[in-house]
Structure 1
Amino acid sequence: MFTWSSDHIAPHERFEHWREVRAKGMFGVTAERDGDHDGEFRGSLTLRPLGSAALVELHATPYKVARTQADIVAAPSDSLCLYQQLEGGGWFEAGRGGRFITPRGTLATSYSDLAYNTVPATAAGYHLRVLKIPNGLALTKRAHELVASPLDERVPVTALIQSCFSDLVETDNSIGAEETELLVEALGQLVLIARGVAEARSDASRAALRVGRLSAARYIIGRDFDHAALSPAFVAGQLGISIRHLHALFEPTGQSFSQNVTAVRLAEAGRCLRQNAARPVADIAFSCGFDSLATFHRVFRAAYGMAPGDYRRALAEGG
């Protein structure tokens, strides 16, 4: 992973370096500052390869960014871009896509080699992530139609994109290369579906939807594991699929839906036991979604080889 910060550069040279070396040299964009923003500039970024894609996370004080036709000719990228606004907001102007604001948490997409202008919507400046997926993996001959645009959260596939994106960028390299590439490919295809330039019934789209729905199902389990009533029917309803389809999503993973739920609950129970020695075991069990203390003891012993109380005592004794 590549990291860079303006802190090691003299204050009066920071923005010039950022403009020429980082903005134009790395990203192929034109950066300019208004007189209103002539104070000390600060910027930092990380660049992390994720399979065949690349993830950039960027912090910077306010300035204007433009991807001009001259920039595109000088530094073509031929990629699908997925943007996530982490803090503040951003204002975009994107040719035929018109103008729009990206609030905190918003995901937006575009084809890299189309012109746009953007500035931060607040004085806090930029804090965003950009995932760039090479054309050969995801895009079609209709890439030129993908002017910058926010994803519509009313479209069901957007939730799948959000879940896959989170799985990909927030794992701290805890997933393997094969799963990483699977997520990259799925994300690219799901974006094309969301933007209306890919047929949802194609083989590539069906495969991407399976990956996205499995990711979203796991997200719902992680969010709602503390509800004892969490069931296949509830999760399937959230995803708009049948219960049979939901179970089929988990089959290739080697862990059923119920096993996945139990694993998440046990992991949280173990964390609670480690971090709060005074909290009653029964309270932990019910707060983690187990519907009875007997069930909790049985599955905990099967997973850890001892009862919850013994586990806690072993930790206290340094065992």
Structure 2
Amino acid sequence: MLSFSTDDVAPGDRFEQWREVRSRDLFGVTIELPAERRAAFAGSFRAEKFGAAIVSEIAASAYTIRRTEADIARVAGNSLCLGLQVRGPGRLDTGSGCSEMIANGDMIINHSDLPYGATPGTNGGFHFRMLKIPVSDELTLGRSIADLSAARPLEGTRALRPLRALLDVLTTHKRASADAERDIVHIARLGLAARGRLAENLPEVRSAIRAGLRYLALDIMAEQYHQIDLTPALVARSLGLSVRHLHLLFEDAENTFGRTLVLMRAREAQRLLVGQPELTVAQVAYACGFESLATFYRVFRSVYGMAPGDARQAN
């Protein structure tokens, strides 16, 4: 992991170092900030490799940014960039005579080696997450994306909701549960579909859509696993899907919907048994959504190879 901040730099040197050492040589961009605001500048950055991609996150005081032809020649990437403007609205200049306003929560998709510029809408700073994925013909299904200038996804596409779900997973702590190789390919194809470069009826894109929707289903299950009446019908309805479609989402996964929910409940039960010894086994079972003690004992033994009481004593 690469991580740094301005905390250990003298205030008078922070912006200059960020501009010359970080932005110019590492990010491959040109940044500017009025001289009177430089003394208050602060920023932090971290990046780590995830599969073939680089996941990065930056939070800093507001400044103008440009990626020029000279920047591209110095730091080229040939990558697909999927970004999320968590905080800090502004105007994005695509470099082709077009510009658009970017609001909090907007996504930006582009090829890394095209010029762009961005002007902050406020002086309140910004927070940005990005996934940078090396381009290959296999990844893009043979489509060239060298002309994919920076822009938001198209509205109303089927790929948009699963794309947002996967971007949330892969750019936060949730990626610990992701499949790096598979999900990086999926999100790249969702991003290209959301920009109109891949048709949504392609088998590879349909597979990626299912993967993104599955993560949305997992979010619902993680929030509501403790409810005894959490059924496939309830989760499907929350997603606007049929029950059959919901089960199809889990066909490519390691476990079915039912087995996934059982494992969630069993793992939480194991955590409570060890971490909260004041709770009875029955209290743990019902707190985790099991409908009966008999079911809980059977499931727990199938997952951990021992009875709940033995698991508590073992720790």
Shorter-chain TM-score bucket reads: 0.7 to 0.9
Per the TM alignment, residue 186 of structure 1 is displaced from its structure 2 partner at its CA by 0.6
5+ long unaligned stretches in structure 1: none
Deviations 1:266-307 (A, max 9, x none): 112222233323234444333322223332233223333444
Per the TM alignment, residue 245 of structure 1 is displaced from its structure 2 partner at its CA by 4.1
8 A contact 2:11–2:39 mirrored in 1 = no
Instruction: Measure the CA separation in 2 of the matches of 1:192 and 1:255.
Output: 28
Instruction: Measure the CA separation in 2 of the matches of 1:215 and 1:157.
Output: 14
- The answer to which of 227-236 and 302-311 deviates more is 302-311
Instruction: Measure the CA separation in 2 of the matches of 1:42 and 1:160.
Output: 34
| 1:170 correspondence with 2:172 | yes
Per the TM alignment, residue 81 of structure 1 is displaced from its structure 2 partner at its CA by 1.4
Instruction: Measure the CA separation in 1 of the matches of 2:218 and 2:249.
Output: 11
8 A contact 2:45–2:57 mirrored in 1 = yes
Q: What pairs up with 1:1-319 in 2 under 5 angstroms?
A: 1-86=1-86, 88-95=87-94, 98-103=99-104, 105-121=105-121, 123-136=123-136, 137-138=139-140, 140-141=143-144, 144-149=147-152, 152=155, 155-171=157-173, 174=176, 179-312=179-312, 314=313, 319=315
1:227 partner SS: coil
8 A contact 1:107–1:151 mirrored in 2 = no
Per the TM alignment, residue 34 of structure 1 is displaced from its structure 2 partner at its CA by 1.8
8 A contact 1:111–1:148 mirrored in 2 = no
Instruction: Measure the CA separation in 2 of the matches of 1:254 and 1:180.
Output: 14
Per the TM alignment, residue 234 of structure 1 is displaced from its structure 2 partner at its CA by 3.2
Among all aligned residue pairs of Structure 1 and Structure 2, give the percentage whose two residues are the same amino acid: 37
2:89 partner SS: strand
Instruction: Measure the CA separation in 2 of the matches of 1:6 and 1:233.
Output: 50
Per the TM alignment, residue 183 of structure 1 is displaced from its structure 2 partner at its CA by 0.9
What TM-score does the superposition give when structure 1 sets the normalisation length? 0.82
Q: Tell me the amino acid that sits aligned with residue 102 of structure 2.
A: I
Per the TM alignment, residue 49 of structure 1 is displaced from its structure 2 partner at its CA by 1.4
8 A contact 1:23–1:29 mirrored in 2 = yes
**Aligned CA distance change for structure 1 residues 244 and 170 (closer, same or farther; 3 Å):** same
Per the TM alignment, residue 208 of structure 1 is displaced from its structure 2 partner at its CA by 1.9
Q: Tell me the amino acid that sits aligned with residue 59 of structure 2.
A: H
Instruction: Measure the CA separation in 1 of the matches of 2:220 and 2:157.
Output: 18
Deviations 1:97-132 (A, max 9, x none): 5332331x4433233234333345555523221111
Q: CA RMSD in A?
A: 3.0
8 A contact 1:111–1:144 mirrored in 2 = yes
Number of aligned pairs?
310
5+ long unaligned stretches in structure 2: none
Per the TM alignment, residue 57 of structure 1 is displaced from its structure 2 partner at its CA by 1.5
Instruction: Measure the CA separation in 2 of the matches of 1:106 and 1:275.
Output: 40
